[in-house]
Structure 1
Amino acid sequence: MAHHRDEDEHVPTAGIVRPYALTSGRTQSSVHLPVEAMVQQLPRAHQREWAGHDQLDRIVLACEERTSVAEIAAKVGLPLGVVRVLLGDLIEDGYLETAAVTLTDSSTLSERKDLIERTLRGLRAI
């Protein structure tokens, strides 16, 4: 006896998209983004409504305040490499920018500690 599926029966679909599919197979960003690099929204990002439903929306929303690459990856729950590629796209499209976070010889101990702590928080969250 053949078993026929009821028309109203729900067929589960895969809810996971492979990371390389999000980046069209790209593994490198054209923008150099170390894990400690700080990223923030540009005014152009406010001209578009970011609903937060897809990965790009979630990344832009995570950058409302200056945030490190590592923290962004943790917030959106995506692999660091994927986030770097998508951040690079958003930077090239003019929605985000990297903020200078390089330490110099004149950086204070407090600035150095703050950068290290932010980086560690982001790495732990990944």
Structure 2
Amino acid sequence: MPTTYWKVRPYVLTGGRARTRQHLLVHTLVSVPFYDAVFASGLLPEARSLYEQARQTRSVAELSAVCGMSLGVTRVVLDDLAATDRLQIHDGHYTTQFDLHLLERLRDGLRQLA
């Protein structure tokens, strides 16, 4: 495959955008409240993968890793899905990056991996 494919594809997926309407942090949780198979079938493969993986509540970073997409592209595609009201972005109110609630969630997630 030509190398230009890999340079163009993220641009095509995001429509050239690098910013999102919503502030999506790496630990922001997203989910699909009501899965719609017909809607999913009309999505580009990358967007479909994110949509299907978000059937379980997951963080932006986890979706990025599971789907093999860069974090920037993942944020833009998730933002587009949220704009269709098919994806829910869960508000996480953190006062600082060292918020106790965030650290507890991180600890609990690491325990689940062990």
For this structure pair, what is the TM-score category when the shorter chain's length is used for normalisation?
0.7 to 0.9
Aligned AA for 1:62?
Answer: Q
1:34 and 2:25 aligned = yes
Q: Distance in 2 between matches of 1:37 and 1:115?
A: 12
Gaps of 5+ in 1: 1-11, 120-126
Q: Answer yes or no: is the 8 Å Cα contact 2:18–2:72 preserved in 1.
A: yes
> Which whole-Å deviations, capped at 9, do the CAs of 1:54-111 have from their partners, x for residues lacking one?
011000011011100000000110100000000000000111011133357xxxx686
| Residues 33 and 55, structure 2, Cα contact 8 Å, conserved in 1 | no
1:92 maps to what in 2? 83
Matched, 1:22 2:19: no
TM-score w.r.t. structure 1 length?
0.66
Counterparts of 1:32 and 1:110 in 2: how far apart (Å)? 19
Amino acid at match of 1:81: G
Looking at structure 2, the residues matched to 25 and 40 of structure 1 have their Cα atoms a distance apart, in angstroms, of 25
Matches of 1:18 and 1:117 in 2, distance apart?
A: 36
How far residue 48 of structure 1 moved from its aligned partner, in angstroms, is: 2.9
* Total equivalences in the alignment: 103
Q: How large is the Cα RMSD of the aligned pairs?
A: 3.0
Assess, with a 3 A threshold, how the Cα gap between structure 1 residues 118 and 19 changes in structure 2: closer, same or farther: farther
Moved segments of 4+, more than 2 Å? 12-18, 45-53, 100-104, 109-119
Is 1:46–2:36 an aligned residue pair?
yes
Tell me which protein shows more helix as a share of its residues. Answer: 2
Structure 1 position 78 matched with structure 2 position 73: no
TM-score, with length taken from structure 2: 0.72
**Unaligned segments of structure 2, at least 5 residues:** none
Larger radius of gyration: 1
